[in-house]
Structure formats: structure tokens, C-alpha cells
Amino acid sequence: MHSPTLILLAALLTALVTTVLYAVWSFNKNIPGLRLWVLSFLLGSVFSVSLLVRDWVPQVVAVVISQSAVSLAAYLCLMASRMYMGRRPFSHIYAVVGIGVVVASSVYFTVVQPHLGMRFVFAGLGAGVCFLLTAHTLADGGARRVPARYLFAMVVGLHGLFLLLRPVLFKLGAVAPGGLPDASLASRVSQFVVLESIVAVVLLGFGALILANEFITSELRHLAEVDPLTNVFNRRAFLTLLDKAISAAQRTKTDVPVLVMDLDHFKNINDTWGHGAGDDVLRHFVMLAHRCLRKEDVMGRLGGEEFAIFLPNASAGGALAVAERLRALVETQPAVTGQRPIPLTVSVGVTLCAHADSAGAALKRADEAMYLAKERGRNRVEVSEQPGGAPAAPVATAA
């Protein structure tokens, strides 16, 4: 195929991908890194256009524009991937120096000592390294859990590797004086390079869209499973996770301790200090609870000021210790809102979810124990009967 036709096709496809990504970004501006991917593809369009008009502008100008565009596009792709993954950006000084070296070297091998092969070496070096770093950044989180990232990483990594190895293609034939390869070979290599660029543009564009979809899906799942005020699981998600924990415990023939807790006199807090202060109190309580829990422990908000926790791989004694530690911590750590401390206490019910037990049944027993703590004076821990009517071991709880 005629090389200018391939370049024109590459320019049109790059512009199309840029337009699609911009449309997605304009409706989802909270997707991290997407704006930088839009700018990256836009610079790819500039690079394609610079190749189309290179016969009508001075050669050195065309080289500066094309090398700057492709290097900056690769760097923005790297920055977009780091932003998407929540990592700190590199210092832009490195990019300025690196792109400056690439452009200056390309100008040198264009004006001072013309050598097409060396121009390809420097052009591929900067962009190739950036694309390989992009692949390394995105290949994180587990291929089964986030396959889209690994597919994108594979495509961008192969493209970066091709850019680094591309100069080798010009060593396959006889080289004329001045470092220029044989004309027929150069034409075939150029066509292959443009074809690879077309495929890479399409695949990278789809990759960016897949990552955008991954982020949106994750956000929707978060909204469906997490309480927006306290950032712990909502009731439905908590019960689903508890059911899974019970199934796992049944296979190992162990129990799952379940705690249900309710903040004492929370209505009075709302009536006295306002609902804004009540929200601060709830967030404060969750913060204190996390200080008492392990990474594998799961907390959920059942509704209002009522919360629940289950403790995988914990004993009854360990669950009681956690409940008492949480009760004491809440009592001694008042919430501070509007520069005024608000004293808090919590009532806790504890039960064991045993073999063939259900999440709903265990939660009901823990809830009954929590109400028993309320009846006995609040600011205490009570334990429910075990399944089958066996009484739980007594525990000393004090207000």
C-alpha cells in the first residue's frame, strides 16, 4: 500500500480515537488519567499530520514537531497510567530533559550529520522507555481481578518494545553512504512501521476505553456496596460477605464471631447538636472501630447508628476482647465537632455463628444481645446464647 495512504489512515484513526476518548472524558471527568490519555492521542494526531506535511515544510521543522509530539505523547501516556493507578507523578524535569535530548539529537542527525537510522534510534528510545514503564505501572492488582489492566499493559509493552527494536529493521539490507538504507527496503520498512502504529493506536484506544469502563464499574459497585457517609459496607453487602465467611468457616469447622453495636442516646445527639454533628459522630465511631480491628475483619452499617462486625478466624474470647476494647475506647474518646467534644458510649452484642447457622440468624442473636445491653444500663457488652440453647461463657462488662 502507498505509504502516504497509510499515514493518512493512521492520522484519521488517531483523530477518531482522540474524539471518542474526549467524548467519554467530557461525561466522566472523574476518571483518573483519562484527560492525559486524550492529550496523548491528540499529540499522536499531531505526529501523524507532521508526517503528511513534511514535504511542504523545512525538514528540521518537521523533525522537531514529529519527535516532540511522539515523545510527549508517550510521556503523557505514562503519566496517565500512574494517575489511574493512584501513584505519584514523576518530576517533569526528567521529561523536559529527556525530550530535549531526543529532539536535539534528532536535529543533529538531520542537519549536522544526516543519519536516518540514528534518528529512529533516538525517537524510539524515549517513547519506547515511556511505554515500557507504562506497562510496568499498569500490570498490578492481579490478572484475574483486573484483566483489563494487564491487556492494556501487554499492548503498550509490546508497542514500546517494537519502538526500541525498530532501528534493527534498517540493518536488514545494504546501507548507502550517509547512513540511509536501500530505497526499496526503506519503503517496505516504513510501511510496516506505519501499519504497526495503526494497530497500536486502535488497540491502545480500546485499552483506554476498557480502563475507563473498569473505573466506572468499580465506582458503581462501590456505590452499591458501601455506605457513603461512613465508608463501611451497607447492610446488604455486609450480609453477603457474612454468608461467604460462614460458608468458608463451615468447610474448616470453625465459628465466626459476630458483633452488633448501637451508639447510646444517638437521637439526643442529633436533637442537641444537629444532624451534621451526628454525621461527624458516626464517622468518629467508625474510625475508632477500625483501630480495634484487623485487616481481615469486616464492618458494616446496618442502619442509622447501628453497626455490625464479623471477625474471621477469631475465637469467642478474642471477639469479647475486641468488643470490650471498642466499648472502652468509645467511652474515653469523645467526638469533637465544632470545637466541642461530644461524649459517646456504645452497647455491644456478641454471638458466634456456628455450623449450619445463617447470617440472618446470627445477626438476630447479636442484635438481641445488644438490646439486652441497652436494657441493663447501656455502655456494656452482652453475649447471646449459643445456637441450640447452650449459654455463652460469662464475661465481665462494666459501664
Question: Coil, strand or helix: which one is 300?
Answer: strand
Q: Quote the cell numbers at residue 234.
A: 451497607
> What gap in Å lies between CA 38 and CA 200, rounded to an integer?
15
DSSP symbols for 185-254: HHHHHHHHHHHHHHHHHHHHHHHHHHHHHHHHHHHHHHHHHB-TTT-SB-HHHHHHHHHHHHHHHHHHT-
Residues whose CB falls within 8 Å of the CB of residue 256, separated by 6 or more in sequence, listed in order: 242, 245, 246, 249, 310, 311, 312, 352, 353, 362
Question: 81: exposed, middle or buried (C-beta count within 10 Å: 0-12, 13-18, 19+)?
Answer: buried
Catalytic one among 305, 324, 375, 382?
Answer: 305
Active site residue 382: no
Cell of 200: 497500536
Q: Which residue has the cell 534493527?
A: 168
Cα(274)–Cα(63) distance, integer angstroms: 65
For the purposes of burial, counting CB atoms within 10 Å of the CB of 23, is it exposed (0-12), middle (13-18) or buried (19 or more)? exposed
State the Rg of the chain over Cα: 31
Positions annotated as catalytic residues are 305
